[in-house]
C-alpha cells in the first residue's frame, strides 16, 4: 500500500482510492448477507474501520492539494472525497446511534422474536402485529419518546460534525448534492416542495379508500411508510405465487442483451437468519463483480424491490471497464438511483403483468396500489428531505428540526410527531444529503421510460434495441453522461401520472 503523502498522480491516487472501495464493499456484503458468525462481526467491523481510515487519509491528501492541484480534481471525485474525509467521525457517531437504538431505545413490555422490541426490531414488530393497531400505537409512542431521549445528542453531534467538516472545504452537504445534480439549491428545494404539494390532495383522497381496504381502519399516522411497504401488495401474492422474481429479471436481462448481468452478477438467495430482509445490491468491483443479496418470501414485494436492485446491478456491470476510476466507480448521489428506478417500473407495468398472465381486474388494483405507494412516498419524503436541508441551511437544532418536520408532514399529508424523525434510518444517521436522490430519479426515469416506450414499444423490456440504447447511452460511459439529453427535471410527466385524475 502506498502512503498518501507519496502519491503524485491522479491515476495512482484513483487506484488506491478504488482499493478502499472494493475492500469496504466486500466486508459490508459479508455483514449484510448474514454469512459471518456473531463472534466474527466485530472483526469485520474493525476491518471496515481500518479501510475507512485509509480512505479518509487519501481523501484529505487529495483535498489538501498534496497529490494534484485542487482545481484539477474532477467534481464527482471532489464531492466523494469531501464526504469520505470525515468517514471515521461519522462512522463512530453512526455506530453509537445504531447501538443506542438497539440497547437503549427498548420497550421492555413488548416482544418480537422472543426479545424486547427495540428501535432495530420495531419494523419487524409492526409487521408481526399488523392487525393490532392499539399495540402498534403503544410501540409507536414508546419508541418515539425513547428515541428522542437517547438519540438527540449524538444526532445533533453528527450534524455539527457535518457542518464543520464540509465548511473546511468551503461548502456544505446541501450545496454538494445540488451541484452534483447540476441544479441550484433553490431549484432543488422547489422540486421537493412541488412534489409534496401536488401529492397532498390525491394522497388523502386515495388513502380514504385504500387505508380501510388494506388495514381495516381509517387513515392513521401510526401506519407509516414502513408499515405500508410489506403489506400494500400482499393481496396480490397469490396471483404472483408461481413467479420467481430474480429468474424473471434474469430473463429480461437476456432479452435486452445485458450480458454483464449473466457474467458478473451473483444472486445470493441462501436463507440465513441474520440476512437483511430487503434485497440489496453490492457492487464489489465495478464492472466485473456484483452480488445481489435476496431473501425469498412476499413474492410481489420482492419483485418491485428485486427489480430495483437488479437495475443497480445491470447498470454497474455494463460500465466500460477501461474508464478511469472517477468515471467508472463514483456517481453523483442525484444520479445513482436512475437505472434502478427505470427497471423497478417494469415490475408493476400493466403491460408486463399481462405478459405474466395476471387478469385485468387484478392489474387495475395493482396500479392503484402502486399509485398510492408513490403518493405516500412523495408526501413523506418531501417532508424528510426539506427538514434535512433546513438542518444544514438554517442551522436548525434538533428541537427546531423536529418542529419543522411536524409542520411539513401536516402541510403535505399526514401530521407525524416531530420526534419521529429521530427513528428514521437515513435522515438522522448520515451526514450527506441523499433522500432527494430518489425523487429526482423518479422524475428522470419517467421521461426515459416514456421515450423508450415510444421508440421501442410499450413492452420495451422485450426489445434488444432498448437494451442497446440503455447500455450505450446511459450505462457504458460511466458518470460521463449528460442526463438532460434524455430527461428534464422540469418535466411534469411523473407528477401527472401519480397525481392521476383524482384532482
Ligand atoms: Zn437504489
Distances in Å between the Cα of 390 and the Cα atoms of 185, 385, 432, 485 are 11, 9, 13, 31
Give the pLDDT mean for 75-80. 93
How close is the Cα of 306 to the center of ligand 1, in Å?
10
User: What would the pLDDT profile of 427-464 be if each residue is shown by its tens digit?
Assistant: 777 778 888 999 999 999 999 999 999 999 999 999 99
Single out the residue of 314, 324, 167 nearest to residue 254, CA to CA.
314
Q: Environment class of residue 74 by beta-carbon count within 10 Å: exposed (0-12), middle (13-18) or buried (19+)? A: middle
Say how many domains are in the chain.
2
| Pair 162, 256 in one domain | no
- Is residue 10 pLDDT above 80, yes or no? yes
How close is the Cα of 101 to the center of ligand 1, in Å?
24
How close is the Cα of 471 to the center of ligand 1, in Å?
18
| Pair 209, 103 in one domain | no
How close is the Cα of 114 to the center of ligand 1, in Å?
32
| Pair 388, 474 in one domain | yes
As a whole number of angstroms, the distance between CA 56 and CA 51 comes to: 9
- Is residue 503 pLDDT above 60, yes or no? no
Query: Rounded to the nearest 5°, which phi and psi values hold at 29?
Result: -60, -45
| Pair 81, 202 in one domain | no
| Pair 21, 160 in one domain | yes
pLDDT higher at 482 or 406 = 406
- Is residue 476 pLDDT above 50, yes or no? yes
As a whole number of angstroms, the distance between CA 104 and CA 464 comes to: 53
For residue 345, what pLDDT is reported? 96
| Pair 222, 364 in one domain | yes
- Is residue 479 pLDDT above 60, yes or no? yes
- Domain final residue pick, 149, 166, 181: 181
Single out the residue of 274, 273, 312, 272 nearest to residue 292, CA to CA.
312
Q: What value does the mean pLDDT of the chain take? A: 93
Task: Grade residue 238 by pLDDT with cuts at 50, 70 and 90.
Answer: confident
How close is the Cα of 379 to the center of ligand 1, in Å?
19
For residue 374, what pLDDT is reported? 94
- Is residue 108 pLDDT above 50, yes or no? yes
Assigned C-alpha cell, 452: 423508450
How close is the Cα of 307 to the center of ligand 1, in Å?
10
| Pair 163, 15 in one domain | yes
Q: CB 447: neighbour CB atoms within 10 A? A: 17
For residue 42, what pLDDT is reported? 87
For residue 239, what pLDDT is reported? 85
CA gyration radius, the chain: 22
Q: For 428-498, where are the E strands, in sequence order?
A: none
Single out the residue of 383, 389, 386 nearest to residue 408, CA to CA.
383
How close is the Cα of 72 to the center of ligand 1, in Å?
30
What CATH number is associated with residue 326? 1.10.1370.30
Q: What angle do CA 77, 21, 54 make, to 5 degrees?
A: 85
How close is the Cα of 167 to the center of ligand 1, in Å?
28
| Pair 160, 249 in one domain | no
User: What would the pLDDT profile of 306-358 be if each residue is shown by its tens digit?
Assistant: 999 999 999 999 999 999 999 999 998 889 999 999 999 999 999 999 999 99
- Is residue 189 pLDDT above 90, yes or no? yes
The model carries a pTM of 0.93
Give the pLDDT mean for 11-27. 95
- Domain final residue pick, 131, 148, 181: 181
As a whole number of angstroms, the distance between CA 218 and CA 150 comes to: 32
As a whole number of angstroms, the distance between CA 256 and CA 460 comes to: 9
User: What would the pLDDT profile of 364-395 be if each residue is shown by its tens digit?
Assistant: 999 999 999 999 999 999 999 999 999 999 99
- Is residue 276 pLDDT above 80, yes or no? no
pLDDT higher at 39 or 260 = 260
In degrees to the nearest 10, what's the CA dihedral of 88, 36, 313, 316?
Answer: 40
User: What would the pLDDT profile of 116-163 be if each residue is shown by its tens digit?
Assistant: 999 989 998 999 999 999 999 999 999 999 999 999 999 999 999 989
Single out the residue of 373, 339, 134 nearest to residue 256, CA to CA.
339
Give the pLDDT mean for 254-272. 95
How close is the Cα of 409 to the center of ligand 1, in Å?
24
For residue 35, what pLDDT is reported? 86
- Domain final residue pick, 181, 208, 225: 181
| Pair 237, 344 in one domain | yes
Single out the residue of 79, 72, 68, 53 nearest to residue 166, CA to CA.
79
For residue 501, what pLDDT is reported? 56
How close is the Cα of 218 to the center of ligand 1, in Å?
31
For residue 191, what pLDDT is reported? 95
How close is the Cα of 345 to the center of ligand 1, in Å?
13
321: left (phi over 0), alpha (psi -120 to 50) or beta: alpha
CB of 101 within 8 A of CB of 119?
yes
| Pair 220, 97 in one domain | no
Q: CB 19: neighbour CB atoms within 10 A? A: 18
As a whole number of angstroms, the distance between CA 447 and CA 489 comes to: 9
Single out the residue of 44, 63, 58, 51 nearest to residue 21, CA to CA.
51
| Pair 326, 223 in one domain | yes
Q: Which helix (H) or strand (E) holds 219?
A: none
Whole domain around residue 51: which residue ranges? 4-181
| Pair 173, 190 in one domain | no
How close is the Cα of 315 to the center of ligand 1, in Å?
11
State whether residue 109 is helix, strand or coil.
Answer: strand
Give the pLDDT mean for 215-239. 91
Task: Grade residue 196 by pLDDT with cuts at 50, 70 and 90.
Answer: very high
CB burial readout 223-236, b (16+ within 10 A) else e: bbeebbbbbbbeeb
User: What would the pLDDT profile of 277-309 be if each residue is shown by its tens digit?
Assistant: 778 999 999 999 999 998 887 888 889 999 999
Amino acid at each position: 500500500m502506498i502512503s498518501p503523502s507519496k502519491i503524485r498522480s491522479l491515476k495512482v491516487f484513483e487506484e488506491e482510492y478504488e482499493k478502499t472501495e472494493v475492500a469496504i464493499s466486500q466486508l459490508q456484503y459479508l455483514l449484510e448477507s448474514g454469512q459471518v458468525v456473531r463472534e466474527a462481526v466485530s472483526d469485520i467491523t474493525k476491518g471496515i474501520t481500518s479501510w475507512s481510515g485509509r480512505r479518509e487519509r487519501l481523501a484529505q491528501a487529495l483535498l489538501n492539494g498534496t497529490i494534484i492541484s485542487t482545481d484539477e480534481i474532477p467534481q464527482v471525485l471532489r464531492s466523494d472525497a469531501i464526504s469520505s474525509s470525515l468517514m471515521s467521525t461519522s462512522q463512530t457517531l453512526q455506530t453509537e446511534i445504531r447501538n443506542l437504538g438497539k440497547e437503549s431505545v427498548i420497550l421492555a413490555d413488548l416482544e418480537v422474536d422472543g426479545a424486547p422490541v427495540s428501535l432495530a426490531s420495531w419494523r419487524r414488530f409492526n409487521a408481526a402485529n399488523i392487525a393490532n393497531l392499539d399495540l402498534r400505537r403503544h410501540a409507536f409512542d414508546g419508541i418515539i419518546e425513547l428515541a428522542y431521549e437517547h438519540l438527540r445528542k449524538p444526532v445533533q453531534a453528527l450534524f455539527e460534525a457535518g457542518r464543520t467538516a464540509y465548511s473546511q472545504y468551503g461548502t456544505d452537504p446541501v450545496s454538494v448534492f445540488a451541484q452534483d445534480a447540476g441544479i441550484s439549491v433553490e431549484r432543488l428545494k422547489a422540486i421537493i416542495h412541488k412534489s409534496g404539494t401536488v401529492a397532498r390532495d390525491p394522497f388523502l383522497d386515495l388513502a380514504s379508500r385504500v387505508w380501510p381496504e388494506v388495514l381495516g381502519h381509517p387513515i392513521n399516522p401510526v401506519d407509516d411508510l414502513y408499515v405500508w411497504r410489506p403489506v400494500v401488495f400482499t393481496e396480490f401474492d397469490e396471483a404472483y405465487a408461481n413467479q420467481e422474481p430474480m429468474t424473471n429479471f434474469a430473463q429480461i436481462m437476456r432479452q435486452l442483451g445485458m450480458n454483464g448481468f449473466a457474467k458478473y452478477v451473483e444472486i445470493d438467495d441462501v436463507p440465513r437468519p441474520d440476512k437483511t430482509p430487503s434485497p440489496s445490491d453490492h457492487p464489489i468491483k465495478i464492472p466485473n463483480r456484483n452480488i445481489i443479496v435476496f431473501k425469498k418470501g412476499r413474492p410481489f414485494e420482492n419483485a418491485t424491490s428485486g427489480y430495483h436492485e437488479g437495475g443497480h446491478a445491470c447498470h454497474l456491470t455494463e460500465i466500460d471497464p477501461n474508464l478511469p476510476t472517477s468515471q467508472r466507480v463514483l456517481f453523483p448521489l442525484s444520479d445513482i438511483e436512475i437505472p434502478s428506478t427505470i427497471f423497478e417500473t417494469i415490475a408493476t407495468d400493466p403491460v408486463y403483468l399481462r405478459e405474466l398472465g395476471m387478469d385485468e381486474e387484478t392489474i387495475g388494483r395493482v396500479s392503484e396500489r402502486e399509485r398510492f405507494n408513490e403518493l405516500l412516498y412523495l408526501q413523506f419524503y418531501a417532508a424528510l428531505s426539506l427538514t434535512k436541508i433546513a438542518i444544514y441551511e438554517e442551522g436548525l437544532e434538533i428541537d427546531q428540526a423536529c418542529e419543522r418536520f411536524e409542520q411539513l408532514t401536516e402541510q403535505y399529508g399526514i401530521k407525524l410527531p416531530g420526534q419521529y424523525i429521530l427513528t428514521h434510518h437515513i435522515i438522522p444517521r448520515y451526514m450527506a444529503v441523499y433522500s432527494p436522490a430518489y425523487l429526482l430519479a423518479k422524475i428522470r426515469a419517467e421521461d426515459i421510460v416514456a421515450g423508450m416506450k415510444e421508440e421501442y414499444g410499450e413492452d420495451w423490456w422485450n426489445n434488444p434495441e432498448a437494451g442497446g440504447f440503455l447500455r450505450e447511452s446511459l450505462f457504458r460511459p460511466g458518470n460521463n453522461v449528460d442526463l438532460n439529453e434524455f430527461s428534464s427535471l422540469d418535466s411534469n410527466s411523473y407528477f401527472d401520472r401519480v397525481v392521476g385524475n383524482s384532482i
